[in-house]
Amino acid sequence: MNQIDTLPIRRRSHHLLRPRRMPLMFALLLLSVGCASNNYLSVRKVPRNPLNGVLQLTSFYGPRPSERTEQLLRRFDLAEQQKRSSPVVLASLEQEIASHPDPEKIYSFAELAYIDGRRAYDAGKKTEAIDLFGSAVAYAYLYIFDSKLDRFRNPYDPQFRQACDLYNAALEAGLRILKEHGKLKPGDPQIVQTVKERLHLSIEVHGPWHAEDIQDLDFVSSYEIKGLTNHYRTFGLGVPLIAIRKRHHDQDPAESYYPEGITFPVTAFLRVDRPSSEVAQASGAPATMHCVLELHDSLTTDHLQVCDRLVPLETDLSIPLGYFLDSPNFKSSNIATSGLFRPGKTQRLEGIYMVEPYDPRKIPVLLVHGLWSSPTTWMEMFNDLRGLPEIRDNFQFWFYLYPTGQPFWISAAQLREELELLQRQLDPEWRSRAFREMVLVGHSMGGLVSRLQVMESRQDFWHAVSSREFAELKTDPETRERLSRVLYFDPNPAIRRVITIGTPHQGSDFANDATRYLGRKLIELPKRMVQSSQKLVWDNPGFFRNTDLLTTTTSIDSLSPESPIFDVMKRVPAAPWVRMHNIVGVIPEKGLLGRITESGDGIVAFESAHLEEVDSELTVESDHVNIHRHPRSVLEVRRILLRHLAEPNATDWDQVGSGSVPEHLAAQRPTPSSSSWARESKHLAAE
């Protein structure tokens, strides 16, 4: 075993420890921390704008030009005129730019047009405001990109960054007006009549999503992060937006895996193409401006080619994520609690969820939550991992939601079926190599669910129940099928790595007589499921050497160290092609929690969380609830994923891809009857 332990913590011999137990209510309180409702965003009183300080946009006296623009106005004897008539000043500056263009004049024009646009908007003159914002965008664009200014332009001058901020702020202000008028919609071209010109606007979507995928757009600047520790964004040109996805009812097999109300980050960029005034005057018609507003997916694009230059985009990955997490469709505090205490009520929600488009070129990372939890428990790690370009460019993150009140081996069987069904729907010919490089990451009980995906049951799990032959069992065909799917299984050939975090590999001492009794009182499993297990024992007297696996009624019962499944899981290794990694939490003795609990993370003892024969094991100073959010755990998962990219696989996967599946793998492919078992079990459990 190659053990990595970047936080060396003295291991205390188990026989020297004084047995300590946390009071029951304190344990439940600790567990419930991960289930408390959370708000990920708060609405700003004033949208974020980097020009607020420079132009004093929020001051009592209203916006005013920057010092450099005021100096330019004094040089051209326009300072007093600016106080009386801004349009006259803009006209004078426009003439100056036409005769002798230089960056200072162009920047000042863009700034003054933006200020006048703000004043016009505040006065309710929105048609005039959009004209002025459009002029500000055009002149800021000219300042940044006009090749004639190359010998004058200085990218080290703070004014250059302010010109970028002017472009972004003016573009956002114009887009806000379009949204107010219902014209900020991708797809059909929009015509906007302003005071001076007729605007033909096309909105194009670039990236994996399409125009018909977008139901609405909102502005990142209206919100600030509240429930996520880190905020991932990049700086450049463009307006970061939140795209709210529209649900489709089409034949795309991935559609059923997208949750309702999913959002994704985009950046709006406007390429300016304004006709010359001479052409407009010669035609005798009002000027017409043709614009293309490009919406670029921030997860796939963070720069553009503009005027033969590589231009970074202004992007924000975290606020669109928080917006989705705050949506009513994804609020999961009730789901986590219902999943524990009323598992039958959430069976229909159980399954794999994707929060970005399925991409056959990216390696899936499936995150499996633990007891009394839901996929939101992963959002800190997800946000941090996706913030690294090497990770988001090569991996796609999926989440498994399951009712945590049922025994974990039932959840493992259901996940096994879900993965088989997903494989059959998204990659039926086994053509995606990335799909066959899947990584599972499980926290707490989710680590046990994950480990059971890469084991071969052989006869070991059945023999933990009975020494008789399975064929001799007396029961109805439906019960026989469900039992066989739980106790007989093959390792998933598409899973290459498993990372377990704070997992009770040998059970948890908190699944004691008191908590198990309380669990049976509070957790309501579907009656039909309980009655089916009881009837199985009654109909086969003397058949079973141990009925625990059959009559265990709750997940808390299933986590008892006395459960026979842990002995079996200890003996059965992972499939030879699977790399195993483990992260263990330890609370320092000096803290209050460390003094009243035994060695470990407060819920799982170190001896239970530790795994032999793994590729790496990391010890982290953290409690059980927060270990998968701890920065060192996130860094370790990131390290493992990058290692996963770097290591070639010495297996026969290259045989797959021409459409013919190798015989030894084809035997493991799902059949219609087996793939439907998980779906049918949901309906059975819900009855």
DSSP state for residue 459 in the 8-state scheme: T
Distance CA 13, CA 380 (A): 34
| Cβ proximity of 378 and 422 under 8 Å | no
3-state secondary structure of 378: helix
Q: What is the DSSP string of 118-138?
A: HHHHHTT-HHHHHHHHHHHHH
DSSP lists the bridge partners of residue 401 as 351
The dihedrals phi and psi of 493, each to the nearest 5 degrees, come to -70, -10
Distance CA 362, CA 13 (A): 44
pLDDT tier, 677 (very low <50, low <70, confident <90, very high otherwise) = very low
pLDDT tens digit sequence for 449-470? 999 999 999 999 989 888 899 9
Residues 303 and 358 in one domain: no
Mean predicted confidence (pLDDT) in 502-515 = 72
Residues 290 and 201 in one domain: yes
* 598 or 145, which is more confident: 145
Q: Say how many domains are in the chain.
A: 3
| Cβ proximity of 447 and 483 under 8 Å | no
Domain boundary among 287, 320, 353: 320
What is the model's pLDDT at position 559? 86
Mean predicted confidence (pLDDT) in 540-550 = 81
| Cβ proximity of 562 and 568 under 8 Å | no
Does the structure show a pLDDT above 90 at 301? yes
Residues 236 and 315 in one domain: yes
Domain boundary among 286, 320, 354: 320
* 624 or 274, which is more confident: 624
Considering the domain boundaries, does residue 329 fall inside one?
no
Mean predicted confidence (pLDDT) in 528-548 = 76
The dihedrals phi and psi of 297, each to the nearest 5 degrees, come to -65, 120
Computed over every residue of the chain, the mean pLDDT equals 81
Q: What is the DSSP string of 408-453?
A: HHHHHHHHHHHHHHHHHHH-TT---TGGGGEEEEEETHHHHHHHTT
Cβ neighbours of residue 258 closer than 8 Å, sequence gap 6 or more: 245, 247, 353, 354, 355
* 275 or 177, which is more confident: 177
Q: What is the DSSP string of 271-303?
A: E--PPPHHHHHHHTS-EEEEEEEEEEETTT-SE
Residues 369 and 239 in one domain: no
Q: Residue 422 CA to chain centroid, in angstroms?
A: 19
**Sign of the C-alpha dihedral computed for residues 25, 29, 30 and 34 taken in this order:** positive
Query: Around Cβ 613, how many Cβ atoms within 10 Å?
Result: 8
Nearest to 418 by CA among 469, 446, 453: 453
Cβ neighbours of residue 265 closer than 8 Å, sequence gap 6 or more: 220, 240, 241, 242, 243, 297, 298, 299, 315, 316, 317, 319, 320, 321
Residues 244 and 281 in one domain: yes
What is the model's pLDDT at position 194? 61
Q: Residue 383 CA to chain centroid, in angstroms?
A: 6
Does the structure show a pLDDT above 50 at 339? no
Q: Could you tell me the residue range of the domain that residue 152 belongs to?
A: 51-178
Residues 83 and 163 in one domain: yes
Considering the domain boundaries, does residue 563 fall inside one?
yes
CA dist list (Å): 644 to 74, 219, 382, 431, 436: 62, 36, 17, 20, 12
pLDDT tens digit sequence for 231-244? 999 999 999 999 99
Domain boundary among 131, 156, 178: 178
DSSP H helices, 364-403, are 379-386, 389-392
- Specify the range with the lowest mean pLDDT, choosing from 57-61, 223-227, 494-498, 508-512: 508-512
Residues 551 and 673 in one domain: yes
| Cβ proximity of 441 and 450 under 8 Å | yes
Residues 367 and 226 in one domain: no
* 523 or 399, which is more confident: 399
Indicate which CATH number applies to the domain containing 415. 3.40.50.1820
Mean predicted confidence (pLDDT) in 40-54 = 93
pLDDT tier, 385 (very low <50, low <70, confident <90, very high otherwise) = very high
For Cα atoms 408, 356, 420, give the angle at the middle one, nearest 5 degrees: 40
What is the model's pLDDT at position 342? 45
What is the model's pLDDT at position 152? 86
Amino acid at 75: R
Cβ neighbours of residue 96 closer than 8 Å, sequence gap 6 or more: 76, 105
Considering the domain boundaries, does residue 137 fall inside one?
yes
Does the structure show a pLDDT above 50 at 267? yes
Distance CA 44, CA 473 (A): 64
Cβ neighbours of residue 278 closer than 8 Å, sequence gap 6 or more: none
Considering the domain boundaries, does residue 464 fall inside one?
yes
Residues 159 and 223 in one domain: no
Does the structure show a pLDDT above 60 at 22? no
Mean predicted confidence (pLDDT) in 124-145 = 92
Considering the domain boundaries, does residue 150 fall inside one?
yes
The dihedrals phi and psi of 347, each to the nearest 5 degrees, come to -60, -35
| Cβ proximity of 684 and 528 under 8 Å | yes
Considering the domain boundaries, does residue 11 fall inside one?
no
| Cβ proximity of 136 and 108 under 8 Å | no
**Burial level of 107, CB count in 10 A (0-12/13-18/19+)?**
buried
Distance CA 494, CA 360 (A): 13
* 3 or 503, which is more confident: 503
pLDDT tens digit sequence for 56-106? 888 888 799 999 999 999 999 998 888 877 889 999 999 999 988 899 999
DSSP state for residue 355 in the 8-state scheme: S
Query: Around Cβ 607, how many Cβ atoms within 10 Å?
Result: 17
Considering the domain boundaries, does residue 281 fall inside one?
yes
3-state secondary structure of 602: coil
Q: What percent of the chain has pLDDT over 90?
A: 52
What is the model's pLDDT at position 323? 94
Distance CA 571, CA 23 (A): 33
Distance CA 43, CA 220 (A): 10
Residues 512 and 574 in one domain: yes
* 211 or 551, which is more confident: 211
Q: Residue 674 CA to chain centroid, in angstroms?
A: 30
Considering the domain boundaries, does residue 24 fall inside one?
no
Mean predicted confidence (pLDDT) in 14-27 = 38
Residues 358 and 462 in one domain: yes
Distance CA 3, CA 646 (A): 20
pLDDT tens digit sequence for 558-595? 888 888 899 999 999 999 999 999 999 999 875 554 44
Residues 366 and 488 in one domain: yes
What is the model's pLDDT at position 83? 82
Mean predicted confidence (pLDDT) in 26-40 = 51
Mean predicted confidence (pLDDT) in 605-621 = 95
Q: Residue 547 CA to chain centroid, in angstroms?
A: 41
| Cβ proximity of 437 and 397 under 8 Å | no
Distance CA 166, CA 171 (A): 8
| Cβ proximity of 423 and 674 under 8 Å | no
Does the structure show a pLDDT above 80 at 413? yes
CA dist list (Å): 565 to 443, 455, 465, 549: 19, 13, 9, 7
